[in-house]
Amino acid sequence: MAERRMFAKTIVDSDAFLDMPVSTQNLYFHLAMRADDDGFINSPKKIARVVNASDDDLKVLIAKNFIIPFETGVVVIKHWRLHNYLRNDRYKPTVYQDEKSQLNVKDNGVYTFGIPDGNQVATQVRLGKDSIGKNREEPPIFDLIDKLDGSVLDNINKCISKLPKQSYEGFNHVTLTEEEYQGLIRDYGQSNTTKILDCLDAHKESVGKTYKSDRAAIRKWVIGALKLQKRQSASGCPKCGLAPFVVVCKCGYAQGDEL
């Protein structure tokens, strides 16, 4: 197995990838570094524990279609062939041939689960000679994942929007799911999470503003505004000119709002 791995910027620079929590992105890189020459990993949960990731991080990678899981516990990097290509003299086939036999490769090199349809048979490469002509039944989870392919973010956001939301730490104007709240703590720490909630809560209370997703607002402007707080000059609020302007001005303008 090779000691060096590469990553395609088309994948790791995509919005779908960068919108994931930092811990989930970190887990993806560690999984890819430990994958065999076909992109298979036999101990994803162990690797997650070693890098202080959680089971939720694995679930996010599966739900967002960055890894494909098998009933045996093995997973494969979906975009492995976009990341890495080895010469034949350096390539060592995976030992997980049963799992490999359940995969197809699209024209762009992406792994997919199951049998190609009639329009794909002529162009897709079927992996694993033992599986040729066999119609394997797909587990329900893979059927769901394939349906998400191509519109992952929309589907994930729809699912998240249906989860119960509540306020935390006494900031009643900010509502998050338990996963969103824990994700903030995991990514920014408890004290910074409190500052984030305080900032958004104060802004919503002062101007009566509402958001479809408070987590999206936090990602869009709150975190950036707090980072600017330490180095904010006395140039004044860009809306009313009141100085010094830090995060939320008395006039109701918040960093990131349209003028």
Mind listing the pLDDT tens digit for each residue in 142-191? Answer: 444 444 444 555 555 566 556 678 888 888 889 988 888 888 888 888 88
* DSSP reduced 3-state for 133: coil
Q: Which of 75-79, 132-136, 201-205 has the lowest mean pLDDT?
A: 132-136
Of the candidates 22, 21, 115, 12, the residue with the CA atom closest to the CA atom of residue 66 = 12
Domain spans in the chain, listed from the N-terminal domain onward: 9-158, 163-259
Better pLDDT: 70 or 132: 70
pLDDT in the model for residue 206: 84
- Name the pairing type of β-strands 40-41 and 75-77: antiparallel
Fill in the amino acid letter for 6.
M
pLDDT digits (tens, 9 = 90+) for 3-14: 678 888 889 988
pLDDT digits (tens, 9 = 90+) for 90-148: 788 899 998 998 888 887 778 987 654 444 444 344 444 444 344 444 444 444 444 44
Task: Please report, rounded to a whole number, the percentage of residues in the chain having pLDDT higher than 90.
Answer: 22
Distance (Å, whole) CA 162 – CA 143: 21
pLDDT in the model for residue 30: 93
pLDDT in the model for residue 216: 86
pLDDT in the model for residue 59: 92
Strand ranges, E, within the chain: 40-41, 67-69, 75-77, 103-105, 111-113, 125-126, 166-168, 171-176
Better pLDDT: 228 or 52: 52
pLDDT in the model for residue 251: 57
Strand ranges, E, within 13-117: 40-41, 67-69, 75-77, 103-105, 111-113
Better pLDDT: 132 or 38: 38
pLDDT in the model for residue 124: 41
pLDDT in the model for residue 137: 45
